[in-house]
Structure 1
Amino acid sequence: MRKADRLFQIIQILRRSSRPVTSSELAGELEVARRTVYRDIAHLMAQRVPIEGEAGFGYVLDRRYDMPPLMLTPDEIEAVVLGVQMVARLNDAAMRNAAGDVMAKITSVMPQDLLPYIAQPAVGIKPDDVVGGDATRDTRPLRLAIREGRKLELDYRAADGTITRRIVWPVLLGYDNTHSLLIAWCQSKQAFRHFRTERILKVEILNEAIGMSRSKLRQQWQQWRDAEMRKSRGAQ
């Protein structure tokens, strides 16, 4: 790894960490000796990069530090390209369009020497001529309600054709190759439920906020999911 790439990666590692990062951790991820890390940290500090800490304790980056966001490494570029390829296979037209817009924005400002990593990446997903599922459901209201922590009123058609009206607390919109699922707390069932988005006939974002913080609701869903997985493993 070139020194310039290594210095950039050190900043990235510190930026994404919520705690001090030791020289051993940095050396392990960068695959270099600890003395190389010490020299690189000293170089960054000399360039006025606001890193605090010391050997044996760990290093942190001042959260106010701003770095141009498109100084991407080849690995990061290819990770973005792979992600866009995956999103392009989803049954969600809005998300596919958004992924295409992201790729166009990145390409328009990418230095010439990095463009080949976009045009001819070393990664790719298995070719498939068919985009899975029904892409007619507009998921933007669902995602907006999740972000804003607001309740949704749904008209939902079950697998047997029964149509019900539900008020739900949306948690997450999940995807696989054939369909997408709205994961939510259902007020009428008093339980978490999965709603296939192609079966949602009508959706309205209510002015009423969900009954707790988004993080608390997500935590409760994760606990429920873990319990369901344990029950599933026990039944096998």
Structure 2
Amino acid sequence: MRKAERLFQIIQILRRSNRPVTSAQLADELEVARRTVYRDIAHLIGQRVPIEGEAGFGYVLDPQYDMPPLMLTPEEIEAVLLGVQMVAKLGDPAITNAARDVIAKITDTVPDDLLPFIAEPAVGLKPEQVTNSLTFDTRPVRRAIREGRKIDLEYRAADGELSHRIVWPVLLGYADAHCLLIAWCESKQAFRHFRTERILDIEVLEEIIGISRGRLRQQWLHWRETELSRSRSAQG
């Protein structure tokens, strides 16, 4: 790793941490000696990067420090490209187009010396035809999740039974063969998973969910863990 890339990576490591990062942790992630970390930290401080701390305690970066957000490393670019390929396999046109737009923005922004890593990345997925292209428009659901709004939906169950539900959307979950809307169902007073191909009609309501998005998600995670524990106990 070149020194310039290493200095950038040190800043990235400090930015993503909410507690002091020791020289040993930095050295381990960068795969360099601790004395190299000391020299790099001193160089960054000399360049007026607001790093505080000392050997033995750890280092922190001033959260107000402003660094250009698209100073990407080749590894980060390839990670994004691999993610775009994975997203395309989901068969959701709206998400796929958004991912491609990200690549276009990166291409227009990064320095010329990084363009080869976009044109000819060192990573890739096995080319496969997407067989589970979604006909369900996920954009209203994703908007409802972001805005914390209730959804009115008409749903056909696996046995053909039709139902009308008011739900609190938590997450859109993607699997190899289908997409699930995970939500709290007001009529069942419980979390439910709805296959999007069985949703016949959907309306995002103006009514706001009564709890925060984060709290609703935590409740669902707790419910999921409880259900998994019950399943494991039943199998045991």
Q: TM-score scaled to structure 2, two decimals?
A: 0.95
TM-aligned CA deviation for residue 116 of structure 1:
1.7
Q: Give the share of equivalent positions with the same residue, in percent.
A: 74
Post-superposition offset of 1:154: 0.8
Q: Once the 2 structures are TM-superposed, how far is the Cα of residue 204 of structure 1 from its aligned partner?
A: 1.2
Distance 2:187 2:57 in 1: 52
- Equivalent in the alignment of 2:229: 230
Query: C-alpha displacement at 1:232, in angstroms?
Result: 2.2
Q: 1:94·1:140 contact (CA, 8 Å) conserved in 2?
A: yes
Equivalent pairs, count: 235
Two-structure CA RMSD over aligned residues (Å): 1.2
For structure 2, which runs of at least 5 residues remain unmatched after alignment? none
Are 2:223 and 1:219 aligned? no
Q: Equivalent residue of 1:194, what SS?
A: strand
For the residues of structure 2 that align with 1:199 and 1:82, how far apart are their CA atoms? Answer: 30
How many Å apart are 1:234 and its aligned residue? 2.3
What does residue 26 of structure 1 align with?
Answer: 26
Give runs of aligned pairs for residues 1-236 of structure 1, distance below 5 A.
1-129=1-129, 131-236=130-235
How many angstroms apart in 2 are the aligned matches of 1:91 and 1:162? 27
Q: TM-score, normalised by structure 1?
A: 0.95
How far apart, in 1, do the equivalents of 2:140 and 2:134 lie?
Answer: 15
**What is the letter of the counterpart of residue 228 of structure 1?**
E
Question: Is contact 1:134–1:179 with CA below 8 Å preserved after alignment?
Answer: no
For 2:179 and 2:131, locate their aligned partners in 1 and report how far apart those are by CA, in whole Å.
Answer: 10
- 1:65 deviates by 1.2
2:90–2:133 Cα contact (<8 Å) kept: no
- In 1: Cα distance, 2:12 partner to 2:46 partner: 18
Is the 1:91–1:180 Cα contact (8 Å) retained in structure 2? Answer: no
Contact preservation (8 Å) 1:154, 1:167: yes
Task: State the SS of the aligned residue for 1:88.
Answer: helix
Deviation at 1:178, TM superposition (A): 1.8
Matched residue of 2:42: which SS?
Answer: helix
Displacement of 1:91 in angstroms is: 2.3
Which residues of structure 1 form unaligned runs of 5+? none
Cα distance in 1 between the residues matched to 2:133 and 2:84: 19
Q: Matched residues in 2 for 1:48 and 1:110: separation?
A: 24
What SS does structure 1 have at the residue aligned with 2:89? coil
Q: Secondary structure at the match of 2:188?
A: coil
Alpha-carbon separation, structure 1, partners of 2:131 and 2:184:
26
